[in-house]
């Protein structure tokens, strides 16, 4: 299954111990890439790295900024190139939680984790010809709105609203990143994996968890859900394509709020405030 275009390439996959991240890491390894995975639980991550055939693994809770920075430092110190950064780690939380940094968890992991890890790894990405950044978003962005005055939902928390906001932020971040990287040869794209039969949202004891359980028989398999992530990471068909949103290996138009360039730039500034404070 070795793919000529992935031989000799280095890929970093976050959230690779479960679901579509695990499948993507395994397939990209089988295609010949040197895959590094990031996971939060040391024992589980080590076990999954061996199962996947990953080159090595990095331990980090990507909702905690100090750990994101340390993970990036580990990669910068150990890797000579980074051809693909696949930002995949994410979660849904029915109840509001905060990270050790005092930031609402969904916002911290699903958006700021992508933003900060990408920023920290950009020197290595810039040094790698034709590198790709792939951000896993969701169709949930269509119901998302950026709560500029309260992005952490300190007033009136809703798990679904917080999740939708974070997935909208993924696309806005991707588009602004693509704009800032124009002319560099680096591409940045976002994707919707589809409704996938994984353990996602099943640990919340919530109504949405029960909904996911009811819909599970109609959902994509993990292998099917990972296909667009793999496609954007490896396919020569998307070489040079950037700033787009994909579903089922095809570029599609996201919701209008995801196409707001002013909001994308504003989100970038807000994100910088969060990670530089």
Catalytic machinery residues: 163
Bridge partners for 98 per DSSP: 104
∠ Cα 196 197 198 (to 5°): 100
């Amino acid at each position: 299954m070795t793919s000529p275009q992935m031989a000799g390439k280095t890929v970093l996959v976050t959230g690779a111990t479960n679901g579509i991240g695990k499948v993507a890491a395994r397939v990209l390894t089988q295609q010949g890439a040197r895959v590094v995975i990031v996971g939060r639980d040391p024992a589980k991550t080590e076990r999954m790295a061996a199962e996947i055939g990953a080159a090595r693994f990095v331990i980090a809770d990507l909702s905690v900024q100090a750990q994101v920075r340390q993970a990036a430092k580990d990669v910068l110190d150990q890797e000579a190139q980074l051809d693909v950064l696949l930002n995949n780690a994410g979660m849904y939380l029915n109840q509001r939680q905060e990270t050790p940094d005092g930031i609402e968890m969904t916002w911290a992991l699903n958006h700021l984790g992508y933003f900060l890890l990408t920023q920290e790894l950009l020197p290595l990405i810039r040094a790698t010809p034709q590198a790709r950044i792939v951000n896993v978003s969701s169709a949930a962005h269509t119901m998302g709105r950026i709560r500029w005055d309260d992005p952490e939902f300190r007033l009136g928390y809703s798990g679904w609203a917080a999740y939708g906001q974070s997935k909208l932020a993924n696309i806005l971040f991707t588009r602004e990143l693509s704009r800032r990287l124009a002319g560099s040869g680096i591409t940045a794209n976002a994707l919707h994996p589809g409704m996938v039969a994984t353990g996602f949202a099943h640990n919340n004891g919530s109504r949405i968890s029960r909904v996911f359980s009811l819909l599970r028989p109609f959902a994509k398999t993990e292998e099917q859900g990972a296909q667009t992530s793999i496609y954007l990471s490896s396919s020569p068909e998307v070489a040079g394509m950037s700033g787009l949103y994909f579903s089922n290996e095809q570029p599609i138009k996201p919701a209008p709020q995801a196409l707001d360039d002013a909001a994308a730039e504003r989100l970038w500034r807000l994100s910088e405030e969060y990670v530089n404070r």
